[in-house]
Amino acid sequence: MKKITSLFFSLILFFCLCYSAIVVYGIKVYSFVDKESIGIDEQVMLRITLAGVGFFHDLKIPKMEDFTFIKLSQFTGSDFSSGRPVPYTVFEYMLSPLKKGELIIPKVYVSYKGLLYSSEEYKIKVSDKVRKVEKDKPSQDISNMKINNIGSFPIFIKSHISSNKVFYNQQIIYTYTIFTRVPIKKMPTVDIPEFEGFRREKLYTRKEYLTRINGVLHKAFEYKFALFPYMTDGQKISKIKMFCDKDVFVTLDDAYKFLGKNKYAILETKAFDVEVLPLPIKDKPLSFSGLIGEFDITAEVENYEVDLNENLVLFVKIKGSGNITSIPTVKTPFISGLNEYDTNSFVNFDKKESKIVGEKIFKFTYVPIRKCETKIPSIGFSYFDEKSGEYKTKYTEPIDIKIIKSKKPKNKDEKNSSENNKEDEIKKGENFYNKKYFLLFPIILILILFNKKFYKK
């Protein structure tokens, strides 16, 4: 009998655990690092994905003893691979090691609806050696660059821009690269000017590769900025200066050959003249707010059928590449049968190698005021397409909404409520006896009675 009783309670525990698993299912934490072995002057990218939850803002990175880190990007989306939309939020960080050895990236804990989740812990091997270039990523050959006299230098700096003729507020990619053919123990000091007349956005921390210049192998450290001109006519992108002293080099011999008796040397890039064109006046839409690039707009709702006692939530997303910070504020659309309650917006950036991409999401909350069938109208916005040189206006698709009678009635008179309560009690009783799990009670009762008779004998 004891075995039967223990088996019975084991089954109950099993079903409870299954139910708990079903309740907490819906959010998972995935993590990823792009490298597990790096040099002391390299970085590792950490990506954390929260699957099953969108618009998450409370991710806290624990204090790291072995790394410094900066946040690269945060973006949201939906995954349809399972046949139904599953929202997700992605966070990306760039980590720089503080010392050599086997360093630890600790777990990142996520608190969501009273439950605690965590990412994986990673061990990163950090050495002072230069990481070899992978075979599937051949070294970039820039032997045809005009090195002039600095080609014989053990370390030098070069720069270039993506275009010297742009429209007002159009993105320019500025790249500067430090080349060295001798080992160095620290990066030279680089003086970045203010770039007067331009707004600057850093694209990524650093890119490293090996290359041959005039037949000699060099290591390259590449940096990129996105510059947005806010003044027209002729503008000048200032020089970047690099300062080198003996502490930059690993050996004193290399330092002496380069510096001689000087304490330090100053190397600089060339300045660039840029022609900034004003935006055309012809065909300029009244709704144009200065957005330049390539963009699209979409709209979606949580539910197409809304209860009178519930809120309607509308999401409008403007996504693309260009000057993301100039994305205009979308006017709250008027929807018949609903009143505006609240509006929020936030911006996600993703700084890639050659451009800035991102999105601005607007969250509109409405309160239904009557039962009806209504429509969310098209929402439009205008921008200047830098490729075609023309203004464009795009619109969302209209969305049909149905406001239905409340399934959860509000407070009524006491008489009506008491009558309804009696009817509800009768219905609950009927439903209770009709449910399948009601059969469990006589089974439990039989087991208890059988247990008592067994112990009496």
As a whole number of angstroms, the distance between CA 117 and CA 140 comes to: 42
- Amino acid (one-letter) located at 17: L
Q: Please count the CA atoms within 13 angstroms of the CA of 333 that sit on its side-chain side.
A: 25
In this prediction, residue 95 has a pLDDT band, given cuts at 50, 70 and 90, of confident
Strand segments, DSSP code E, in 184-291 are 189-191, 198-213, 216-229, 233-237, 241-245, 264-268, 272-277
Q: Tokens 């002391």 correspond to what residue?
A: 40
Angle between helix 440-456 and helix 2-24 axes, rounded to 10 deg: 150
Of 191 and 406, more confident = 191
Residues 333-359 have pLDDT tens digits of 788 888 888 778 777 766 665 677 888
Question: The domain 148-277: what is its CATH number?
Answer: 2.60.40
pTM of the model: 0.51
Q: How many Cβ atoms are within 10 Å of 381's Cβ, its own excluded?
A: 24
Whether residue 288 has pLDDT greater than 50: yes
25 falls in which pLDDT band (50, 70, 90)? very low
> What is the pLDDT, as a whole number, of residue 185?
87
Please list, in sequence order, all residues whose beta carbon lies within 8 angstroms of the beta carbon of residue 94, skipping any fewer than 6 positions away: 43, 44, 45, 46, 69, 70, 72, 204, 205
- The ranges assigned to domains in the chain are 25-127, 148-277, 292-404
**What are the phi and psi torsion angles at 334 (to 5°)?**
-80, 130
pLDDT tens for 294-322 read 899 999 998 899 888 889 999 999 998 88
Contact status, residue 316 vs residue 368, Cβ threshold 8 Å: no
Q: Do domains 25-127 and 292-404 have the same CATH topology?
A: yes
Pairwise CA distance, residues 216 & 214, whole Å: 6
pLDDT by residue (tens digit) across 164-195?
998 888 889 899 999 999 888 889 999 988 88
- 117-167 pLDDT, tens digit per residue, is 888 889 999 887 544 433 333 333 332 333 344 556 889 999 999 999 988
Q: 391 forms bridges with which residues in the sheet?
A: 384
Euclidean distance between CA atoms 156 and 214, whole angstroms: 14
Identity of residue 248:
V
Q: Which CATH architecture has domain 25-127?
A: Sandwich (2.60)
Mean model confidence pLDDT for the chain: 76
CATH of domain 292-404: 2.60.40
> Is the dihedral angle over the CA atoms 7, 13, 19, 25 positive or is it negative?
negative
